[in-house]
Every structure is written in C-alpha cells, then in structure tokens.
Structure 1
C-alpha cells in the first residue's frame, strides 16, 4: 500500500490514491464496522510565498465513532507531491486540525513549485483508518529590491586617505525578481549635503579631496534602492577619512638638565615625561616612538619608546668608569611620529650624577691569624690595619673611616695605640708557664665616619707560640730494677719517668744512651720511646750474666733538650733448670713371682740439676702404676733412687690383668722456698714374665696357643746369643739343647698371637694344681667346642652404672640382660670332657677365670681385634649352644 502512495506521475497517483482510499475504507469496514473519516478533506488551501513559520494553510476535522479516539501522532502527512517538509499538522483536543507552515523551507514562488499535494492519514484506537488529499497552492507576492553582497547583511565601512583625489569609493549591487532588468531600479543618497554622489547604476563617488586636520573624520551615507512598483530598501555606508603622516613632530619641554644620586637602581625615573607636539593631530600620539641616539656610550640609561620616560637601565657607580671620570652625561633624544620614521626630531638633555657614601671600607683581609712568641715583650706591634684598608668612595668625607676599640677574648692583653689608628700592640705578658691562654680572639670594626656609617668586622686570631725554655728532668737520677732470671723475653722490668716544665707539653722521647749489653748480646734492654718502659729482649741467665748490669737512659724533648739517668739491673737467681735423669727411658723385665720390696732388675736412676741440691729431688710415678705395684726408694732427698716392687702381682686372684706396664716418672727439684718448681721425666716399660705354669688369660676359660715369629728388641741380647751358641753345638746334642731353649723362651718371652687366615684349632691345657706354686700333677690337652660359665652373682658397675653378672670363683663377668630376672642361675656347662682323670673346683676355676676385659681391655668394652671363627670338634652327644648377648670376654 505504501508503494501506491508515492508514485511520481500525477494522474497515476490520483488513481492509486482512490484505490488506496477505497482499500483503507474496506479495511475499516472489516474491523467490526467501526470507521474514522475526515470532514473537509479532500480540499484545497492557499499560502503566500515567504509566509512565516506557523502560518495556517488549511483546517479540517475528523469524524469518530463514539468512545473511540485518534491514535497519538495522527493525523499525519505521510507523503507529498512534490516531496517537501514545508508543512505540518497541529493537533487540537476538539478534533480541529490545522495544516501550517514549518519554516524549515523558505516558500519562494520564484524557486519552488506553485502547487503541493499532501496525503494525510488518520488512525483511531480501534484500528480504523482514513486517507485524504490536501492540495496547497503557493501564491506570488510583490517584493522590494534586495541588496546583494556584504551590504545585504552588515553595515559597510569605506576608508579614504586624506589628500586622496575624487574617485569611486564603493559600488552597490541590488536584485529584484519582479522586474526584468536592474535598470528599472532607482538609487538615492541622503543627506544630499555630503560631498558624495551615487550614479544610476549604484556607484558611489567622492566629490572632494579631504583634509584630516580640517574636515570631519567620518561620514554616514544612507543608500536607498527603489523598484518600478514603488517598493524600496535602504542600507548604511560609513566613509572614514584616514589621517596620513604629513607633519613633523617637535619637542616642547623646557627643562633640559637633570640630576640623580649615585647607586640609583634600574627603573629609577630620570625624566618623567618628554613632551612632544605633532601637527598631524592626536591620532599620531600613540604612534610616536622615542629612542636615545648614543646608547652605546651610556648603556646605563634607557627611554620608554612609547611614552618617552627616561629611566636608569643599569647600576650607576660614581666610583667606577665611566662615571668616575665624567659626572655630567649628555643624552641625545630622538622621536619619530610613526614606526616608519618619516618625520622626526632630536633634542639634548644633561644628567648629573651625585656621589653618595655607598661603599663600606674595604680591607685586604677580614680574618688575621697571628703567631707571637710567649717571650714577646709588652709594647710589641702585633698588626697595623691602617695600611690594609681603604674606601673607594670618590669624594671626601665619603671615603674616610676609623677603627673601634678591641673586644673579645684577650682584649686586655692588646690595645690600639693611638686609639682608632688600627695599630695593635701587646700590652701584657703572654708567658704560657704563668697560666696565660694559648689563643686569643680579638674583634675590631672598621667604620665610615659619615652616614650611613658602613662597617665591617675584622677578626684577629692570635696564637701564642711556645718557646722551649726548660730541659727535661728525670724523677730520679738513678733507677734500680731487680729481675728474675726466669723473666720471659719481651717482659717489662720497670719504668723511668721524666717531666718538662714547658707548656704546652710536647712530649718526651726516651732512649738508651749507653750500656745494657753482654759479650754475647750487645743489646739486652729496650726502652719504649714514648712511655719509658724498660723491657728485656733476651732471657737473662744468672749463671752466665755478670750482675748487676748498668746502662744510661736519656730523655729529650722535641727541640733536643736532654736529661740523663743511670739504671742498675740486678739479675736474681731462680730455679729455672729441670732435673736431668739417666737413663730417661728404659725397658725392664720382672718375674711374676718377684718378692715385694726388692729392687727390680737392680734398676736405679741418677739425676742432676744445675741450680738445685741433690737433696731437693722428689720422685713420683705420675701414670701407669696400676694397682700401685711399683715405687722408688728413696722417694726424696737423693739424686739416686731405685725402683722397688711395692706389692706382689696377683693374676690368679684376678687383681692384675695386664702384663706390661708403662710408667711416667716425675722428678721435681722442689727447691724451697722457691715456688718455681722444675720437673724432669723418665719413662719405664716393665714387662711381667709369667711362670711356666701361669695361665695368661685371653678369653674366659680357654687358653689360646698360637705360633708367631719372634721380633726381638735390641735389649733381648740373650736370644741371638743362645741361638748362636746352639749352632756351634754338636748335632748329636741339638735335640737336648732345643728342649731347654724352648722351655726358657716359653717361660720368659711368651709369644704374641700371630694373625692367621685359617681357622685355629683350640687346645685347652688344664692345670690341676692348687693355689700354691707347685708342679702340676698332670697336664691333659683336649679339644672342646663350647664352654658356658655359670654366673652366680650380680653387681653395679661404678663407672657406667650398669648391672653385670659375675662368677664368684673365676671372676668372669658379663653385662646383665635387662630382660632377665635377678638372681638367675646360669645353666650348667654342656660340654662333656673326656679322659678327665680328676676334676676339682680349683681346676675348673683355672679354666674359666677371666676378667671383664679380654687382652687388657676394660670392662664391657669389645676386643680391639675380633678373632675369626674357630674350628670346634665335639662329640655326637654334646650340645651346641651360642653364648648369650651381653656376656663379657666370651
């Protein structure tokens, strides 16, 4: 349906519109009989060209079914032919609608179509519709002429230079659509008395040559254009006369001499206003430009280029060039009436510089550091300030000054003489030994004698130079030091001390002047150069050093003034030599059955001491004397002492366990009342030789019999002797001699077990003999696999605090198992002994007796070397049982 409303052809559009209207009416009938319709449409309305916004073009109403209303924004123009937005519909609550102009387009009859067809559609709230055509005709109106160009929208201003001849100044362009040509338009200019005229074609001419100084500066022209129908339009043209520079300016000020003070700051006004007249009129006042013709000669001045004010540009100092030589300054002022400089004038002014007291007195130094000797006499000139100060002001009294009185620490010791002269003298003594200060700080002021009384402080620091007037003095002319010969090298043995009355104290240096040496060492003593402490650099020996010893010390100050003193050193004897004993180490052998109280192997030590009496020797065994078997006699008071067996050995009873003793012997000189006791040492190795019947315990209840290669020491000389002797015997006696040799070696030199990679067969030698030392009744050798010891008691180890079990007869021990109850009886031995002719408790004790340490170890400690498994032979009926964990020595 929308397509049928926008076709371009006019006749086709009418036909389609009727069809569309019929279709809309048909739709309305289909909507339940409710219809909506226009009242007054279709219709025709007229509107004049250039009608303003809101002009009413046509009025119509809408017919509605009762209780039905028009939908919002309806009725509305849905299309136009030709298309335009120049019309709209204003709604009204009374259902009276007006088609009005929108003002969006200027309705110009000459440029727009004369006729518009507007399609207006209405909807009610029930859905009914109606569409009608409104024809709008555009009516032509007569219009006045229209100015074209700038004059159409604004006032035109035309500028004419003065002295310009009569000529065309402006041309008016006017257009009127109702007339054929512009020649039908007539122009007029008012007021008629003005010196201007306008032609029939709109061209404006000036009628004279204007003079800015005589004629008005501007003219207002009212231009009117009128068409043939009597309509007219007017516009304004303003003609302004431009002044030209045709007259020369000139200076009019009367005063030409000015004075300013010295030290005028930049910006200081020298001449407030330079007056100049210009015949060209006031209009050229603001275009005048001022300058100084000689600015390089006097750059301290400047002039405002617009107002002509002369100013100080830089500091003016009369005490420096060029104003020091010339106080009257001539400036040439120049003025031009425009920046182009076509018309100008010059004049001269004189500026006098007046000197003022603007400089304080100046001195070469403001801090003086003086040094005078403490022996300087009163009245000595210390400093003269007059020659070192000056004032650069050019004229008197601006350049005159004086000095104020002294102040500060020490002003009582110094003064000006005469007052104000700046000549400073010493008025008192400055002897440092009398308690005077070492430094003084003086203050003096140098000041102008005229206002504004410029002043500057001068500080004078005076240091009193000490003079070395006195020699050092020792606290004593001689010193005596007693030194023990045991004093270590580098130790201090005493001090010397010297003083110096000079103040301040500059220090004393100590040195050894002469002496203090021996034939072997040239310098035994050393003195600290700063503290005076005397040290020894070598150890003193009473027996080799001549005592007393003498040397001389010297004390000197920093200027080599000296003092000397003598030093006596007494070397005191001391017990510093230890006893020396021979032999200091020895190997001894003692039979196991050695009687107590006898001298062991006839051994004795002989001692000597360089600084002690033989009666001061004291003998003691420091370590290795287990169970106190050994002692020396005499134990003191002699230089010879013999080694005695203090108590017999008891291996069978379990008291003794080791067969080799290593004794460390201390021999002290105990040289009373000297507290420095010296000690000598002797080391003895004592081997206990067991009897042939003595069992050397290695493991509990068994005796290991092994073979080894004998390694003899140099002390066992008899072994090679016997071997050499046996080689010389006859072959028939070889067996007999070997028998006795083997017996001797077995008794005195028990062989050590030799490590063997193969398992060892254990041979047990049973000794059936009572405790008394008798020949055993019978010796049976047999093989066994295992022996268990019966532990019938328990006790706590005093060192570790652990519980252990022991055999009350054999002394065998083992750590007690924590999981075992107390008083646990050990099982009987499981080993069966064959071919045993006689058994007894004592023999069983010999088999099973052992200590808590195997091969010399301590209780509970493992063997240092773990034996390899042994081959054991047993009977078929014998029980095999491993020893329990925790047993000792098994």
Structure 2
C-alpha cells in the first residue's frame, strides 16, 4: 500500500492443530542474487499425528509489494526453505528494499495457519557497468545524459557529418568509476518503442464507463510530428476496456472487492500494448497493476434479528445473557470498513441490562429481577432494542430486538393461617355437609395457586375416607356417616402445596418473501442527446428500491421490453438497492441501424432473496416494475422521419362486455317465462275445447224440466239444425261414440231461438264453417 505500511495476519482453525514454526520472522538476501539462493528456513508442526501437510502447501499467497522473486521448496520432513527465483532480479537501486510474504499452510485434517516473513534486500557496492553494446545504446545515452557524466576531450572529437567521438566516465557515490570511448552516429530510424508513464489505483463499485486511468505513451521517433499510437489490453480483461486511440482505461463491468478472487487478491494486472504507425510497427508492452480499494458498501448483517431468551428471577448481577457479535458479520474486506459495534440499548426494563463492555454486543444483567422485591414491577417479559452499526461512513445500521422472559422460582413454601384447626360436628350430620375450611398463603409471585389434600387420617374400619377437601378452596366435607360410638375423634393431616407444572412451547415464524420491491420513481421521462458518450449516467437518473423482507443486496435489475438494440443498461445490475441508468451502446441513425427516437422501457426489479432464504430451491421471487420514457434528441442537422398525417375514424360498436353479464341473463329468464305462459294458455285452451265441444246437441224441455244430450242423427231433428249438423266434418280419427255415430270436430254452441216454446236446444256449429249460422 502506497499510503501506509500495514500487514494483516489471519489464522484459520480447522479440525486439528497446525502451526508454522519460526514465523513470523525476517530474512535477508543480497541484491542481484541468482535463482535458488536460500532466504529463510522454517518448519511445520502438525497435531494429531495422522494428519499431513496438504499437497501444494505451504505457499506464498500474497506479497507486499507484489513480486514473484521468491518461492517455497521442501527442505526435509516438515521443513521448508524460502529461496529466490531469479525473476525478476532483485536490484536494490530499482526495486523495493523489503518484501512482506504471507505464507499459508493447510493440512489434510482441515487445520491451517498463516504467518508473515519479511525479506530485506541487502545493498552491495558495485562499480558502474555499461550494459550491452555501447553502439546500440549510444543514441539514448547522448539524448538522455542525465544518468552519465560526459567528459569531452577536444583533441579526440572528430566531426564527420553527424558523428561524435566522446570519452564517457561514470562514477558511483563511493568513488568507483569506469570510462569508455563512444562514437555516436546520429541516424533517424524507427528503432525506438514508445514507453509508458503512469499507473493508477481505483476504489471498488465504480460506475460502468468510469475512467480508471489515462495510459499515455511517447514515440521518440516523432518528437515534432504526430504519430498515431494504438492501445490495447493483451489479453483482454473482463473488468476493464481501453480506448484504442486515447489510451483511456474504462470500467467495463461492476467490480466487487468482496467477491472472489478480489477478496484475497485485490490487485488486477493488465498488460497494456501500444503500437506506433503509420510506419515501422514498433510495439511496446507494460504490465500495470490496478489495486482495487475496499469501500464500506455493505452493512453489518446478522443471522438473526430477533432473539427470545429466558432467565430465572434469581439470576445474579453480571450474568451474560447473550453475545450478539457471534451472530453478526460485515463482509467488507478492509478495516475499518468491516468493523461494527453495538449501541442504543433501549426498551422496557433497559435499566436492568447493559452492553458490557460498551459496543461489544454482550448483553449483561445489571439489575435485580426478583418478583417478590417490592421495588420491582411485576414484569414477566422485557423488550430490548439494540443497534448494530458500522463504525465508518456511511454508518449502515440495523435494529436487533431482544425479548427476555423471566421464569419464576418457587422460593417460598405455603404457610397455613393457623397452626391447627378444631371443628365440632354432630354425628348425625349428613354426608356432603361442609364442616369447616382451612387456608394457606404463598409469598411467591406471581401467585400460581395452592392445592389442598388430605395426606393422613380420616378413615374407619368401614370407610377408607370419611372426609373430602376441596383441592382449590380448602373446604372440608363429610362423605360418610359418623358414629360417635365407633369413633369420637379424627385427626387429619392436610397438606397445602403450590403448583409448578410449567411447560414452554416456542413457535418460530419463517420469513417468506411476499413483499415485492417498491422503487422510486415508478415512472420517469428522460431526454438524451444522440451523441451521448457510452457509459454515461443518463441525466443522473437512478432507481432507489426498498423491500420489507429482503436484503438491499438481493435486488436485480433488467429491462424487460422497449430496449431496442440494447442501448440502455443499469449499473450495477444486481447486488444493490440503488442503480443508475447508463447508455450501454451508441446510437447509429446515419446507417439505419436505429430508427426509433422515443423509447418506452419496462424495467423489472426482482429480489432473489438469496441472503435471507434458508431454502434457495423454493425461495420466492417478487417483482417490481418501473416505466421509463426516453427521448433521443437528434443533432441540429439530423432530419427525423415523420409519419404522414392520418385521419382517424372512430366508430362505435356494441360489444359485449363481461361486466354486463346480467343482460343475457335477464333476456333468458324473460324468454323462459314467456314460453311457459304460452304453453300454459295452450293447455287451458285444449282442455276447454275437449271438455265443452262433444259434437252432440243438448236438449232441454222447459215444460217438464228434462235435460239430455241428443245425438244429431236421432229422428226428430229436422230443418236447418239437422242440415247444419250433418254438414259438420267428422273427427280426423274417424272414431265413433257408443251408439256408432261418427264424432264431430269441436264446434261452437249456438242457441236456437226458433224452436218450439217447450224446447230450448243448444245446436253445434263446426269450426270449419266460414260464417256462423244462427238457427
């Protein structure tokens, strides 16, 4: 770390005991040491004896600063050596003078240990050395004479076109020197590769598209002219992208310091390649390290946020009831981002409890809980609230609720109001009669009741029990006959006992993810220029979501519809309750790839609930929705295609609606009633016709009062009546009556007023007649 020199040591406990002997320690090695030079020796102790060091261990899991100059070789039984690798060469003048190596070991039983070895580089006085061929380096030496002392002898200088003859002496600080004569010919050829000048470090959770570094290179061949340099990352890295023309490195995807492998190795190595053009094609590469710094972006989280405890009323002061720290953690990596404390103890009875020591999360009893103490309220359950909070900004916090139930203790025995009772009872007292009452009191609180029983006495040769006592009230009764001559006195032993038959049923309520995310704003209208830079947060827009039953890290964002050509995205897309809308790809209206200027985005926000659900396979996922309207503003010279004018003709059509269900229902009911009425009327008509029209003539003698039905074929019926009756059509069934006369069709009855005074006859008329005839 460039800002502070800090070392973090972690020890991991497994199934046995494992330790690195001889560490932590400090080792020394001289500069420019070749490969396989011994730096330090240490050993490993294992317990129990059957366990063995796991394959590939021990190993160097990290170094500060990063280096590959050291490795661990086996040196014997459970003995190991730290030696040099020769790559890179340890140069005291150009490299750090010390390295902190974190050595980690793991055995087959699951135990592990981690220790620190500090390696110091020892400086050795060496004479200056001209590296390589002086002719090859002469041009760089002449142009960059900052590292050398040029001593020129005028008698040796030969001026031939662009050539120089120089005596060069180099001297170190301790007086050792070397001199060499160099002839310099100035030739302008493309033999210089560009070189890099800067490296960077960034914090985690930078927005996608944010600038990480501006990697610049220079081309010595084109000091006064423009040389096009092309930049690339080789091989490509998922977290970063580079502008090939400017060398600016951007964040390509979300970087989470807490996720593997960045949690243990926060350094990302990038190989940046630069190539010059238009001629020569010289390239250069440099490996830079981007250090991902930890941010306090995670709140402290606990396995439980509600605790139910029980303690006896006789618990003593100083009793530790609960240690909250064992249930909580913060997944941030670096101190103080992953540190938190507990505070804000409040609630009913909080004066009887405290957090000791302050901020530790240890809930300790400090007051008296005795129910029988007059100074205490008769409280059987205390409700406390404790706040778990980060100690670093932005001070994330959560509430923890603690319910402490006080269990009564049976400290006192019941005491009778009198040491003895005397009752006088007549021997003729009937069975079932009450003869007296005993009573006792109990100082225990809360009062749970007293039970009375006869434990001795009260029997005769004829009766096992002569007396009965009410177990709740203490009333004493006779249940058998008394005989003075047989028994004059009974001595009963009555026991009063307090009841303590208690049982506890604990019901745990499991969380179901039944609350959908609620996001603000629910809908929004945005405008962006067509040339907006990719990766830019659009108008600073962001979504803020809350969910009553999910962690803030359980949200995921995706655009369900309207995102034509995938121009828009959210960053981060998951793991936070706050997300920003960014431009993910540029617009291309000129080539026809894009034709839409107004976008309607439907955004779904889901809570996968992975952190709080115990059974992820059956975990429910709820979804929230946000609607976004985005208008792309074209350049002033851009012609936006418009839709020709359209005249809308609106016609009204009677379409059945499910809400008008009663209309067909009423029509159906009315039709059925009407059909029923018509059927009933038809039935009455048919019955009437069958009953009243028989085809016979009814004859009535007004003088004698005789009445009869007379067949129309009988003699005596003459004239128009007989003629009319004979013209009546016969029944279609050709049936005959009892006399053999064909039956006539139903007819109407008409009174014949022209008959003799002594007779009033009813004549029939066929229904087929076109006109009615009155006889």
Same fold, TM-score > 0.5, yes or no: no
- Relative to the length of structure 2, the TM-score reads 0.31
- Relative to the length of structure 1, the TM-score reads 0.27
Structure with bigger gyration radius: 1
